[in-house]
């Protein structure tokens, strides 16, 4: 019977309270001269999967860590209250009891980091998660394309907060990046931050639509300057979503911003992360670039749905030596 180490398990659900990023004045000189060597970024990103080898109990511990950082998400046109209630129950109890007992972690309250839904299902999720400590995140501002007037975007943010969302995932206006209107992007995100109030603001860059890695870096800087609590890669609806090269550029922007201001910004890759090995690669990237401190749900999240099912399947394989069918690990 396998048992993950107690020190690893104790850190799984650590939600350290950190001082929230207040933002700063718009300072284009801090990012205006950024240039990115794409070849160098891609070479560094390619080493992530080869620098460390995680086996047996160590791999299981990292998978439990990944599980605890998932924003368990459903953003489909056929979402129903029943589907969201099932998703919330899975967030509360993401692993079967026999797997928890086999890993020796049954006494720990292992849950996902949050549940992410559309606005009209916030209240359903809040009721279903009552007493669990799991926050509800809501996508907003005309997700996924963001092609609605600013007044409607701000109204949607305020309505989602009023409905009980503790975290708001907004989409930036990509046109502001593509036309170099950095002041406009700053003003937009600053307005979202004010509309969020106490709710945490996650800014989705839609990296696959920003044309260059330099634009990704600059957009990251502007969103953090404007008061973002997290920067996030993608909506999951673009043709290119989270990748390790995009992530490397974004987490290095987080590192530089923290060195300048002292404020720690969270990071959320989303879209296309559905395999356990991919999740571990992102955790390794965070560890190597930002350190162990960022490996908690307070500062790192996955935007995912099917990833949880694969993690549960891999953990069962760790215990039994056999892979079970995917349908034995439903997410909702």
* Candidates 229, 232, 278, 310; catalytic one: 232
Residue 220 vs residues 23, 51, 150, 190: alpha-carbon distances, Å: 12, 27, 20, 13
Q: Is 232 a catalytic residue?
A: yes
182 three-class SS: helix
* Candidates 65, 153, 202, 268; catalytic one: 268
Q: Is 275 a catalytic residue?
A: no
C-alpha radius of gyration, the chain, whole number: 19
Whole-number Å distance between alpha carbons of 228 and 247: 17
Q: Is 169 a catalytic residue?
A: yes
**Chain position carrying tokens 């030596």:** 321
Are the C-beta atoms of residues 211 and 196 closer than 8 Å to each other? no
* Candidates 169, 229, 278, 310; catalytic one: 169
Whole-number Å distance between alpha carbons of 114 and 120: 17
Helices (H), 145-301: 150-163, 174-178, 182-196, 213-225, 244-261, 276-290
Q: In what order do the strands lie in the sheet with 70-73?
A: 266-268, 230-232, 200-204, 167-171, 136-139, 114-117, 70-73, 302-304
Are the C-beta atoms of residues 232 and 201 closer than 8 Å to each other? no
List residues with catalytic annotation: 169, 232, 268
């Amino acid at each position: 019977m396998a048992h993950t180490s107690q020190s690893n398990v104790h850190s799984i659900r650590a939600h350290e309270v950190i001082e929230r990023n207040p933002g700063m004045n718009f300072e284009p000189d801090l990012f205006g001269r950024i240039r990115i060597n794409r070849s160098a970024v891609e070479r560094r990103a390619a080493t992530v999967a080869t620098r460390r080898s995680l086996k047996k109990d160590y791999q299981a511990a990292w998978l439990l860590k990944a599980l605890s950082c998932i924003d368990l998400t459903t953003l489909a046109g056929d979402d129903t209250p029943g589907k969201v209630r099932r998703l919330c129950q899975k967030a509360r109890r993401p692993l079967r009891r026999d797997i928890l007992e086999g890993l020796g972690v049954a006494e720990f309250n292992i849950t996902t980091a949050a549940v992410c839904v559309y606005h009209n299902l916030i209240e359903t999720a809040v009721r279903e998660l009552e007493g669990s400590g799991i926050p509800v995140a809501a996508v907003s501002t005309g997700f996924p394309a963001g092609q609605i007037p600013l007044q409607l975007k701000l109204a949607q943010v305020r309505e989602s907060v009023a409905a009980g969302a503790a975290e708001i995932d907004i989409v930036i206006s990509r046109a502001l990046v593509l036309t170099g209107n950095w002041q406009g992007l700053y003003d937009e995100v600053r307005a979202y931050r004010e509309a969020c109030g106490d709710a945490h603001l996650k800014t989705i860059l839609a990296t696959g639509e920003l044309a260059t890695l330099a634009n990704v870096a600059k957009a990251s800087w502007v969103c953090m300057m404007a008061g973002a609590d997290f920067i996030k890669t993608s909506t999951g609806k673009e043709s290119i979503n989270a990748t390790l090269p995009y992530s490397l550029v974004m987490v290095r922007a987080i590192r530089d911003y923290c060195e300048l201001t002292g404020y720690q910004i969270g990071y959320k890759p989303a879209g296309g992360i559905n395999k356990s090995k991919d999740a571990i690669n992102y955790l390794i990237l965070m560890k190597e670039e930002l350190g162990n401190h960022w490996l908690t749900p307070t500062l790192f999240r996955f935007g995912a749905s099917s990833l949880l099912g694969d993690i549960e399947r891999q953990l069962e394989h760790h215990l039994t030596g056999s892979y079970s069918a995917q349908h034995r690990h439903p997410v909702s």
